[in-house]
Amino acid sequence: MSTAKPAEKFSQAQTAWLRFVDKVERGELQDPSGQYVAKGTKAADATGSRITRPKFNAGTAAFAEHYRLNKNGEVVAVPVLGEGGVASKEYVPCDCGDLPPAPTTTFISSQGLAPYSGADNPNGYIWDLKIGHGSAQGDHDGIPSSYTVLYSDLNKGAGGPFIYIGFTRVPSTASENPEAINAQPYAVGPVVGIGYVTKCCYTSDYTNILYPYFPIWKDTGVRLGFREYDLNEGVGGTYIHATLTKNPGFGVPIEIGVLSSNSANAQPPAGWAKASLDLNEGAGGDFIYFCIKSH
Amino acid sequence: MKEQGVILSTSVSKATKQLMMANYLNFGLLAFIGSSMMVWPCDGQGVPNNATYPLATSRTGSNALQPFRFYAGIHAAAQQFRVASPTYYTQEVVIRPLYVFVGYQFGPHLGVQVGFLQHNPPSASYSNTSFNQAGQLIEGHGYQDWYNGAVPILLRYRLARRPTHRLHLDALLGVTVEFNHYLGDDMVTVGGQVQYHVHVDSHPTNTYLTAGLGAEYDVTPHVGLMVEGTANRNTTALDADYARKPTFGLGAGLRYRFNIGRSTEQRQL
């Protein structure tokens, strides 16, 4: 009989869930439902087209059908049986237990990180954002070394590469983005909003819906050669290109955070707002959201 | 023209026979090119009088000597249009990457052609999030889908004193009909309250006066390499100032002339 207090039990359940996802990502466990896969797994069908993976929301019956806590407090992925990948512990021997794992959320933000108060940005606003990626945890090709990286994988649980977002508050170290080189209005200044465009693959086709937002670029180190980077790169699902705006007419300076959860209903801390789009949409893995907070 | 017709009437010749033989032997396009070049030396100025030139057709009334009246082409191309709509603002669109056309040659100089090009990019949605000065959350969501297709109907006039020149200029003049479909939905909420919501489902059809200039080099009697530039002026624009400004297009590719018009006599050669 467990003597843990409810709060502790909940915490243990969260820990168990994070351990489960970590083991699946390292390839030590398999998730028969297909929602969580090992890191580096490429999502493509036989023709190379993008595929979509299932996604179950913690707290729902479908989630409980696929994930259970066993008597040792470990998360068990229920074996899948039958057409359509229907899970059923009744047909496959499984030490699955009866309780589903608890909703588990992690949140990381820029707030308080890399403070700056130079004359060119006395309030220390976030001056630029970049997207980076790599095959190993912590790799962030595309985010300059002068930027601060939020080490929360934007592909969490979905395979593919590790993808991170990084920021700088120091104007003199910010990359010179294509819109700044092209002298477009509001190309330089504090970041006041973030967004997304879901589409493949030609920027010129949707510049009219992008404005006044610009892509959050991957810095390739090549002048005018920056790239947009699909936040579902390698994992299938929806094409998602992150955007930002520095137009003060569209908002006030913001801080940025990343929320990852097995629940779509997860909320960030007070004062933060969660953006609407799951960055792993259609790709399995965690529900991941950008969050913002006003200065 | 009469003199030319006489010349041509004697020119169902060795050269033509060789070309026909290659055709019948079904060696494919390479065989066509090879045999054509063999009998049709590139002097850069013209062709021997005893060769059957694709566009050098007769007006004698006999179609026996008009072997290459029909043609088809494909270009890598980009055409820009300003599309006016009664329900949406004027859009500037670029249709790419391919342009296909078929045509009919009335005589050595004049032909008419109809083409098609389209651009159907994937639909896109967007979402934006920010805070206003009052600390209220501003959220924008939208969806856009669009299609553009164009049908140019053009006269092609060969600008050459001698239509037998292998390198020549063509003038183009005609109309282009552009079909646009734009579906868009945009909504902005501030503090959870809808501040702005617009839904557009627009299907305008615009016509354009199209003029252009092209250069073509005839590699063989069948195959020509082409580059073309065109300008389009909207003739149905609703807001004339912007939409009627000319837009431009470029293309480069191939034209292939068919032997559909061969006479029975020629087939038997």
What's the pLDDT tens digit per position in A190-226? 999 999 988 765 455 555 556 778 899 999 999 888 9
d(CA B85, CA A261): 45
> What's the pLDDT tens digit per position in A124-150?
999 999 999 999 999 999 999 999 999
Taking residues A260-275, report their average pLDDT. 95
Cis, peptide link before residue B246, omega less than 30° from 0: no
Residue A15 forms part of a structural domain: yes
Q: In total, how many domains does chain A have? A: 2
d(CA A273, CA A127): 20
Question: Are B127 and A252 in contact (CB < 8 Å)?
Answer: no
**Residue ranges of the domains in chain B?**
68-260
Task: Say if residue A187's pLDDT is above 60.
Answer: yes
* Low-confidence spans in chain B with pLDDT less than 50: 1-65, 264-265, 267-269
d(CA B247, CA B233): 7
- Tell me, what's the pLDDT at B66? 52
pTM tops 0.80: no
Residue A97 forms part of a structural domain: no
Task: Say if residue A4's pLDDT is above 60.
Answer: no
> What's the pLDDT tens digit per position in A56-67?
999 898 898 888
Which structural domain, as residue segments, surrounds residue A267?
105-294
Same domain, residue pair A152 and A210: yes
| Closest partner CB to A193 (pick from B128, B135, B184) | B128
Check if A111 contacts B (Cβ < 8 Å): no
Same domain, residue pair A204 and A269: yes
Q: How far is A7 from chain B (nearest CA, A)?
A: 32
User: Has the ipTM of the complex gone over 0.85?
Assistant: no
Q: What is the mean pLDDT of chain B?
A: 76
Question: Does domain B68-260 fall into CATH 2.60.120.10?
Answer: no
Looking at beta carbons, which residues of chain B come within 8 Å of A273?
129, 131, 137
Question: Are A195 and B94 in contact (CB < 8 Å)?
Answer: no
Same domain, residue pair A136 and A172: yes
Residue A45 forms part of a structural domain: yes
Domain termination residue (choose one: A85, A119, A140): A85
Same domain, residue pair A273 and A129: yes
Residue A96 forms part of a structural domain: no
Check if A231 contacts B (Cβ < 8 Å): no
Q: Nearest residue on chain B to A293, judged by CA atoms?
A: B131
Domain termination residue (choose one: A39, A55, A85): A85
Question: Are B130 and A202 in contact (CB < 8 Å)?
Answer: no
pLDDT band at A288 (very low <50, low <70, confident <90, very high): very high
- Tell me, what's the pLDDT at A14? 86
Check if A277 contacts B (Cβ < 8 Å): yes
Name which of A24-28, A47-51, A281-285 the model is least confident about. Answer: A47-51
Same domain, residue pair A171 and A67: no
| Closest partner CB to B129 (pick from A197, A204, A273) | A273
- Tell me, what's the pLDDT at B30? 33
Same domain, residue pair A109 and A148: yes
Q: What is the mean pLDDT of chain A?
A: 86
d(CA A196, CA A255): 17
Question: Are A193 and B130 in contact (CB < 8 Å)?
Answer: yes
Residue A90 forms part of a structural domain: no
| Closest partner CB to B129 (pick from A195, A199, A202) | A195
Same domain, residue pair A63 and A167: no
